[in-house]
Structure 1
Amino acid sequence: MNGRISDALLDRIREANDIVSVIGDYAVLRKTGRNFKALCPFHTEKTPSFIVSPEKQIFHCFGCSIGGNVFNFLMKYENISFPEAVRRLAKKAGIPLPMATREEGVRVQEKERLYRVNSIAADYFSNSLVDTPSGKRALEYLRERGLARETMEKFRLGYAPSSWDELLSQLKEKGFSRELLIKGGLLTSQGKPYFWSRIIFPILDTQDRVVGFGGRILGKGEPKYLNSPQTPIYDKGRILYGLNFSKEAIRSKEGAVVVEGYMDVILPHQEGFQNFIASMGTSLTTGQVYLLKRFSPQVTMLYDADAAGVQATLRGLDLFLEQGVKVKVISLSKGYDPDTFIQDKGREAFSRLLSQALPLIEWRFQLAKSRFDIKTIEGKIAIAEDLLPTIAKERNLIRQREEIKQLSQELSLEEEILWIELKKIKSGRPFSKEALKVGSQPSDLLRKAEASLIQLLLQDESLVSLVQEKLGPDDFIHPEYRRIAQAIFDLSTREKSLSPAKIMDQLKNESLSQMVTSLLMEKREYPRKERALNDLIKTIKDNKLKLEYQRLEKEIREVLERKGAINQEKRTRYLELLKYFRG
């Protein structure tokens, strides 16, 4: 598919995929009046608050505020990109897409061949686990680790023998070149097997495609674990092991448990703890955090209590905080990892352990107390210095305020002192003068005015031309409403009708689409629509003029203080605005 697909074709694909039909494949919809209602597939709830409008071809959840058109739903539910959502819905409707450029076509074909090669290799490794003498030794090892045969089959576990003659012959017969196998990470640059004499853990993406492999050596040897190298379809920093199996459980439980390795996911999964995923190493990456955030609003970090495990947890915590994800932490007893804990202490003990997860700051505080003497002023300062950078990264200001309050009580230090120190931290300083003004009354009034005007335009497209005569997108102060207004105005110049679904396609932004659906679904009537429209336009225009007035007043004052000459044009404009506001 080309990087840019025409609006007309997007319309055709969207219109061919009725939103009720598409969402009906994922949720049980019940008709209520003109709309359909269901339990939200994106968060846990007992009373349905997820609404689908066949008339507007949009969805919106009044519980979690997620909303959009049919493309947005598929992107959010399947965790896929906009182009991928377009491809899937086009295929579902039998609509051919434009041919990609030759270069794009080659890349797509190469990736498809690599997926196919990896799938064949995974089947070969799986068969080798039970059909070869060395594989049976690996099979016995997995049984000793507590894995049932059904679990091994589900996770497609296998064994890579020292000789790959059978696999290479099979791949050659199917037309896969040696160069492709090297590019896909199955062979080294010298043409030798990348994995041999290792238990194999196929790594699947959220679409259940084999993108790479992890291998554990049997017996002694280094490295103990070996992962596929970077390939066109495998980027270790952008994938989480087990997410394909756990995504539904993560959604239903409203949280994921992040662990380190393959077995840390597989055995808990077998025992019913199905919301586990692994970072496949000691450190999470920004790409992995962003991926997980699409599925879960909160996570629990479960890592070893050794020094490496603690450091990995600390790095991951900062990444999650920067993305606005709520975090809890569990430290395992020394010498344990999740699968050995379950084997040694049992399922119920593991369940109790999970219930004891500490909120982030509590866990950090306990860790800091083990390192510093809280009874001394030096220890208190050290603890504060250790925790404040983490608190500074907290994007939820309510939670941040509570964390400062809690730290003040634990350390017997005044909150004001902690706030002063927090503001000194360069990274993530949230309490600037500008930020404090956000909650002031004028800003709230303006935000409501801009939201109401957008809502009127969404409800009645005949008003667009009237508004365009008096306002432009730049007259909207808040960036989100400015972008929605721009999309509405742009579409009105080239479309006969403005459907909400088209506006969302124009926006190509999940959070903005949710704002649109929220405004549309809000049951608000404007009995005197024309008067309301004029009042809202005046509020927005007056605010812009007020900002201009304040800017000119400041500039003129500075010139007078320097005893300089005032620009005549600016002076005239200032007097005009002064007369406007003061009559």
Structure 2
Amino acid sequence: MAGLINEEDLATVRERSRIEDVVGSYVTLRRGGGGSMVGLCPFHDEKTPSFHVTPARGFFHCFGCGEGGDVISFVQKINHVSFAEAVEFLADRVGVQLRYTDGGGQRMEPGLRLRVLEANQLAAEFYAGQLVSGTGLPGRQFLDGRGFDKAAAEQFGIGYAPTGGRELGAHLKAKGFTDDELVKAGLVRENGWDFFQGRVLWPIRDAGRSVLGFGARKIFDDDRMPAKYLNTPETIVYKKSNVLYGLDLARGNIARKNQAVVVEGYTDVMACHLSGVDTAVASCGTAFGDEHARLLQRLLGTGDVTGGEVVFTFDGDAAGQAAALKVFKGDQNFLAQTYVSVEPTGLDPCDLRMQHGEAALRELVGRRVPLYRFVMRNVVSGYDLDRVDGRLAALRAAAPLVSSIRDASLVSGYLRELAQLLGMDPEEVRREVKVTVQRRARPDQQQRRPGPDDTDALPGMPEPRPSLPVPDPRDRRLEAERGTLRLIVRAPETFGEGWNGLAADNFLHPAYRALFEAVLAAGDGPGGWTQRILQAHPDPVLEQLVISLAVEPVLREPTEAYAREYSAQLRVQALSRQIADAKSKLQRTNPLDDQPAYNRMFAQLVDLEKQRKELLALATGPAV
């Protein structure tokens, strides 16, 4: 992490990033009613525009698929990046130099990130130019030997670092960069020598195609750096545990196909993309870890365990099996299904393409098997299954694997498969797995003996997090509640002090009531009106509700009279419910038994009717 983004800079980015300009670079927008702009939604297929952008409020919302948010969340969704990455993307777009603070509150150098990204981009262009020059012949020969032509080199931006060791530094200093900036960018060493020398280079980009760093491959035997692959050192923009090579080319395909293929090297990514496997990515100079998993999950963008898949390619040797076991330990980071593709001959994707053609590489991915099955078979293979004690030991070793499967619908099948591998009775295997589940349960959880029909519930799927129910915008019974809140969100200045006498109890739907309570708690302070509402009651349902209300068209120009009509109608409905309750209670009371109580209830009913009559005179305008 580069640190926390300065709050003032964040506010400046929000202010300068006009949502209609940002969205308009991805979606063709035209003027609609009520000050909104409409277009075809970029997040789902549609023929009739249901995607609305409201520049005055800074929100977008699709009435077809429900996606919505502000300009930052739009960039997050469209580019499949984190919040910080979206802010940095917008900051670069509007020319804001972000300041960062570390955990201790120390500010990082203003503008350094922009300078590093600019230096990286110029370095990528320099290296690419060197590859096609006379000095780049060794690099071209290496690529040709791996089956990559000039078009492939251009597609992936491949470059070549000269052997002289000073060329890049001199080139960038002539462009105005200082020695300190080039060192902090990881392009030049403190002794003045270029970081990369005599190597083929791959630019490593983020989802927005900004160059974060480079991966370099050794091609000369006398290379002073012993490692075959060398990566940019950690910088303000390059964190090897947070980046994936090929992400800039694969991100859209991953989101569209709900599939990501993870390979081990830069040339493997190239081979996959050139063979039609255009969802391939690779970790850069480090093992695939938790941050990589979370990055892919954002790209897949699904909360359904069956809604996508992540396919890992491993060698069939011991190292490949160890890598698969490591991925299995982190598999809970994926909501998608996780698979493994293993080439029996031991060829990596690049060699497979060279020796057997592009179809063989596509078939490799097509032969994927579930990660659980791959790991389970490898665990079982380590025991002597010809002995009773060996089979029991293998069962106990494999039981935790089955018990950790998230998708309960798969458990029965894997139990039968494990029983077949071991040559044991399926019921015996099922009982042992259940015992494993009980042993792994937390001590504070209530234990119960599994019943005969509990096989599919073995993994213990997590309980859903409680949240507000989503209101139906078409529910005519709640039109006054929604219309009133729409005005409050869009035109709070049209309401008088005390919100025209409205109270939280006037709202029947829990989400509408929670939103009004957030309005009461928002008050005055820094930030925009809608931002203060959301900060008062953080909830994903409430956030989407505010966004949809902010972009929904109003029937006429908001005025104080219009607001009084809406709030009066809502209060009339609340009074009508009170009157109905009072009448019911009055009917159940015998005046002969308690005349004073009866008289009080009758007077209360008369007063409520009077209030309703007065409010009805106001609630005559909006056709909600």
* TM-score relative to the length of structure 1: 0.70
- After superposition, the Cα gap between the structure-2 partners of 1:426 and 1:483, relative to the gap in structure 1 and judged at 3 Å, is farther
Q: Counterpart of 2:201 in 1: which secondary structure?
A: strand
Q: Distance in 1 between matches of 2:129 and 2:405?
A: 48
Residues 265 and 216 of structure 1: CA distance in aligned 2, closer, same or farther (over 3 Å)? same
Deviation of 1:508 after TM superposition, in Å, equals: 7.8
| 8 Å CA contact 2:91, 2:98 repeated in 1 | no
CA distance in structure 2 between the aligned counterparts of 1:385 and 1:49, rounded to whole angstroms = 55
Runs (5+) with no aligned partner, structure 1: 523-527, 538-583
Structure that is richer in helix per residue = 1
Residue 315 of structure 2 contacts residue 344 of structure 2 at CA under 8 Å; is this kept in 1?
yes
Question: Is the counterpart of residue 358 in structure 1 residue 358 in structure 2?
Answer: no
Question: What amino acid maps onto 1:421 in structure 2?
Answer: T
Q: CA deviation at 1:257?
A: 1.0
Q: 1: CA distance between counterparts of 2:527 and 2:235?
A: 46
Deviation at 1:147, TM superposition (A): 0.8
> Which one of the candidate residues 118, 122, 130 is aligned to 1:120?
122
Write the letter of the residue equivalent to 1:333: P
| 1:310 corresponds to | 321
Q: Aligned residues: percent identity? A: 26
Alignment check: 8 A CA contact 1:2 1:101 kept: yes
- 67-76 or 336-345, which deviates more: 67-76
Could you say what secondary structure the match of 1:107 adopts? coil
Partners of 1:128 and 1:160 within 8 A in 2 = yes
Counterpart CA distance in 1 for 2:324 and 2:92 is 42
Q: Is 1:406–2:408 an aligned residue pair?
A: no
> In structure 2, how many angstroms separate the alpha carbons of the residues matched to 1:422 and 1:406?
17
- Tell me, in whole angstroms, the C-alpha distance in 2 between the residues paired with 1:449 and 1:168: 57
Distance in 1 of aligned mates of 2:196 and 2:443: 43
Q: Which residue is 1:490 aligned to?
A: 521
Correspondence for 1:385: 397
- Looking at structure 1, the residues matched to 25 and 409 of structure 2 have their Cα atoms a distance apart, in angstroms, of 42
Write the deviation string for residues 201-244 of structure 1: whole angstroms up to 9, x where unpaired.
22222232222221111154731111122122211111111101
- Whichever residue aligns with residue 362 of structure 2, its letter is S
1:336 paired to 2:338: no
Per-residue Cα deviation, 1:289-323 (whole angstroms, up to 9, x for no partner): 22222211432222222222332233234434234
List aligned pairs for 1:177-196, cutoff 5 A: 177-196=178-197
Over the residues paired in the alignment, what is the CA RMSD in angstroms? 5.1
**Amino acid across the alignment from 2:119:** V
Residue 422 in 1 paired to residue 441 in 2?
no
User: TM-score, normalized by length of structure 2?
Assistant: 0.66
Residues 91-490 of structure 1 mapped to structure 2, 5 A cutoff: 107-133=109-135, 135-220=136-221, 222-281=226-285, 283-297=287-301, 298=308, 299-372=310-383, 378-379=390-391, 382-383=394-395, 385-386=397-398, 388-389=400-401, 391-392=403-404, 394=406, 399=407, 401-410=408-417, 411=419, 412-413=426-427, 415=430, 417-425=432-440, 448=469, 458=485, 461=488, 487-490=518-521
Residues matched between the structures, number: 511
3-state SS of 2:291 partner: helix
Kindly state the Cα deviation for residue 387 of structure 1 after the two structures are TM-superposed. Answer: 5.4
Contact 1:212 1:234 in 2 (8 A): yes
Whole-angstrom CA distance in 2 between matches of 1:496 and 1:84 = 21
Larger Rg: 2
Mean Cα displacement is larger for which, 146-155 or 266-275? 266-275
Distance of aligned partners of 1:438 and 1:108 in 2 relative to their CA distance in 1, 3 Å threshold: same
The letter for the 2-side match of 1:405 is S
1:163: Cα distance to partner?
A: 1.1
TM superposition shift of 1:253: 1.4
Q: By how many angstroms is 1:5 displaced?
A: 3.9
Change (3 A) 1:89 1:98: closer
Give the partner amino acid of 1:114. V
Structure 1 counterpart of 2:76, which letter? M
Q: Is the 8 A contact 1:160 1:200 kept in 2?
A: yes
